[in-house]
Structure 1
Amino acid sequence: MARPLSSDDLPSSAPPELAYWQRRLTELADRHRVPGAVLGIARGAHSAVAAYGVLNKATGVTTTRDSLFQIGSITKVWTATLAMQLVDERALDLDAPVADVLPELCLADPRVARQVTMRHLLTHTSGIDGDVFTDTGRGDDCLERFVGQLDEVAQNHPPGETFSYCNSGFVLAGRVIEKLTGTSWDRALHERLCAPLGLEHTVTLPEEALRFRTAMGHDAEGDGPPRPVRTWGLPRSQGPAGLITATAGDVLAFARLHLAGGIAPDGTRLLSERAAQAMAERQVELPDALSLGDSWGLGWIRFGWDGHRLIGHDGATLGQAAFLRVLPEQDLAVTLLANGGAAKDLYRELFGELFAELAGVAVPEPAQPPAEPVPVDARRHLGRYERAGTRIDVLKGPDGLRLRHTTTGPLAHLVPEPVLETTLVPVSDSQFLVRYADSSSWIPVTFYSLPTGESYVHHGMRATPKVS
């Protein structure tokens, strides 16, 4: 077992500890059938990156420390940072209706169009159906066109009433940024964050990614081996929600901006200390505190680990996964980027070891079924729950309730198995656990109602309303 590292232990000269984490990354990634991965560790001004495997099993290109991976929804923290820069400049009010900036905004519920704020968007509480992946083309007007179609997207809950992970809301936030900066979200990201931070390996478009050593996502059917996905990336319209592709080093440099209170390495202030602090503060509690974090900030997920407060985010795209955890009290940031396999299981095992040894912090154990069966009367949960991209059926099986999860819409043909069915294991009358065939991890399923009486199931960080 490696000794705990101090802030002087991570120079780029590859100390013994880097060799240790390289070995652990290799052993665990191989165990979890991850084709390729990079692990980045930063403490203070020092950082180290380990690389494993291949970027594409079809070509055999080796993963290196400067390889690019899709970071998925970690992008949302970058978009939130752009928004907070505009708050600093007094060009944007978090609690004013975004219609003040976008008077043309039309939503399914005209009242919501007049009410929804940037704070709603950055905290996933707008109620706009979140998993809409309409392809509105490759032009710089793709966000404008996407937002122009939001009147066709359902309103799943009233603004501010509950939390439901919302990609659509971040696209809308990106469009607000475009309107206020007078340029595309991609260019605003480059000019206001990437260039000042010296991030030369952070891109948003596939033709930019082709300039570098870039990962291909992988998926698998059943117990089959990981194979390259058929589609490399999501439509450009999803940019502000999840289209950044970057190296582990650049992700760590972005985290350093927040650890430094908004100051770039050259001393330039890119974000006020007040704004950086506000992003990490609790904004909303989650209906389910077992899936990921216990609360949400402005863009950041908040984690309570072993009495310590962390911030971070995860990302999942087509066959790729990304993880970022930041422990401000120890000036520590860790990221893992992977291109398939059981990446989440790799993250849990590797980060569990890493945070225990580097920071003395125990990562919470994942949810597990109770030792003894819990008798519940869960008949009221039977029925269909539906939102854009997902249909959830809660069925009565011979040994209790079952959950059938169906991916619908544009993503259905991009996932290896659009229909998954498994047993609901009760923890209480309202809390259950499920485990899908492609992972050893248990995932919470929470049933609850709004104060106004509407029934929801919270699964995968989304609130899905009961429709029948």
Structure 2
Amino acid sequence: MTRPPGIDDLSAFGPPEKPSSALLVDVPYWQRRLSELAKRHHVPGAVLGIARGTRIDVIAYGVLNQATGMTATSDSLFQIGSITKVWTATLAMQLVDEGALDLDAPIADVLPALRLADLQAAEQVTMRHLLAHTSGIDGDVFTDTGRGDDCVERFVGQLDEAAQNHLPGATFSYCNAGFVLAGRVIEQLTGVSWDHALRERLCVPLGLEHTVTLPEEALRFRTAIGHDSTGDQPPRPVPVWGLPRSQGPAGLITATAADVLAFTRLHLSGGRAPDGARLLSPSAAQAMTEQQVELPDTQTLGDSWGLGWIRFGWDGHRLIGHDGATLGQAAFLRILPEHDLAVTLLTNGGAAKDLYRDLFGEVFAELAGVSMPEPPRPPAEPVTVDARQHLGRYERAGTRIDIFDRTSGLWLRHTTTGPLAHLVPAPVQETVLVPVSDSQFVVQYPDSPSWIPVTFYTLPTGESFVHHGMRATPKVS
């Protein structure tokens, strides 16, 4: 892998670069910027959290629910979506520390009854594959297996119905189902549900009193609901608040910004709780930040993946973090260890990613002198390519992508299928593919000004994929 100059593997556990007097954040200024930018991007409600050292500042804007007018406050809870995966990875690494789990041993050693669509994959897949999204299991399976404590176990019992899109380790493809499987391993080794393990092993020792996993727990607090919109219509509350409970280990934490940042402190401190208790070894915390796999597309999120963490190269500096998206909610977390700086943004609708780009670009430039990379965009001069080999249909669980020719050029049709199809405002979207090279393109969907990469590639074994939205979707016709 080629890294930006000056970026080394993280040594995240040293003292802050700046003295404590420099840790103060101009809260009124960032309140104005959050309000201005959230209005520009039609985000109903948002909370920005900034942690420098042990100091945490939280700023709120807007409403938690357009229908009720409930205002967002610094102690409001939002769904953090897939940021949950870092918490699940942390639980797994605790078990590695305890000698109960080997990252490179087959999962079948812990779950001998494991069945996958591919028998070879079932025998080979490891926890490292799961935490780095290289298992090849079709990742967007959202089977509702009920509300009981056995829902994760029941979900994993049906994983043989999910396609095996590639063999373990062959490529990267973002995989929610793999993290549910990781959650089941945690349950098997701890003897309790994933929710209980999270609470007892992380939330209680870290003092996270506003972090929950179940909707009945969220009701105890001031909690956001997601919003969506179609065309020029204003954001409106989504008809369903959350995903099925079986998705817990992949993305069902609901929390305040302060609790999210308190969790990051565990990693920045080398694995210690606020009272000094060791919850994670320094070597385990460090291992989570180290590169496991380079990404086929290095522009959508980071340039590589660790164990749970996404790795970002910004302006010659190494950051870690994660994003999360649920039904009408989006969350963002970025950590710059060398400055002891962590920033999170929790939102409930609108063009949240565009708000993130504008706001985090300003925050990291102002507080750390670090510039965010420019977003992908079409080349300045049109590029002529022969893209006929990319024509056809690509499909995986929840998504069908058709690449076809029109007189105006190559087009992409993205169709959401399965259980989520009726929960998204526009299940079918079409957009022109703008070429960057023979294998690299960018697209722009109607609901956002952002350009999104589309990458075509073929594995050494001959299988063809399109990489879009961090997923590797295999060509089927």
TM bracket, shorter-chain basis: over 0.9
Correspondence for 2:92 = 83
Q: 1:196 Cα shift?
A: 0.2
The answer to whether the 8 Å contact 1:448/1:457 transfers is yes
Aligned pairs for 1:44-123 (under 5 A) are 44-123=53-132
Q: Say if 2:8 is the partner of 1:8.
A: no
Aligned pairs for 1:62-461 (under 5 A) are 62-461=71-470
Correspondence for 2:50 = 41
AA aligned to 2:156 is V
CA distance in 2, matches of 1:269, 1:294: 30
CA distance in 2, matches of 1:407, 1:91: 39
CA-atom RMSD in angstroms: 1.0
CA distance in 2, matches of 1:249, 1:37: 13
Correspondence for 1:18 = 27
The answer to whether the 8 Å contact 1:10/1:47 transfers is no
CA distance in 2, matches of 1:352, 1:397: 37
Q: Percent identity?
A: 81
Give a deviation string over 1:222-279, Cα, whole Å, max 9, x none: 1211000000000000000000000000000001110001011110000000000000
CA distance in 2, matches of 1:109, 1:219: 37
* SS of alignment partner, residue 467 of structure 1: coil
CA distance in 1, matches of 2:475, 2:20: 50
Q: 1:7 Cα shift?
A: 3.9
Q: Give structure 1 regions of 4+ aligned residues with deviation exceeding 6 angstroms.
A: none
* SS of alignment partner, residue 8 of structure 1: helix
The answer to whether the 8 Å contact 2:18/2:339 transfers is no
Q: 1:8 Cα shift?
A: 2.9
TM-score by length of structure 1 reads 0.98
Q: 1:9 Cα shift?
A: 4.7
CA distance in 1, matches of 2:169, 2:213: 30
Q: 1:358 Cα shift?
A: 0.1
Indicate how the Cα distance of structure 1 residues 331 and 66 shifts in structure 2: closer, same or farther if over 3 A, else same. same
Deviates further, 192-201 or 104-113: 104-113
Q: 1:10 Cα shift?
A: 4.8
* SS of alignment partner, residue 193 of structure 1: helix
AA aligned to 1:351 is F
The answer to whether the 8 Å contact 1:5/1:357 transfers is no
CA distance in 2, matches of 1:377, 1:76: 39
Q: Which sections of structure 2, spanning at least 5 residues, go unmatched? A: 1-16
The answer to whether the 8 Å contact 2:23/2:53 transfers is no
Q: 1:175 Cα shift?
A: 0.1
* SS of alignment partner, residue 42 of structure 1: strand
CA distance in 2, matches of 1:246, 1:130: 24
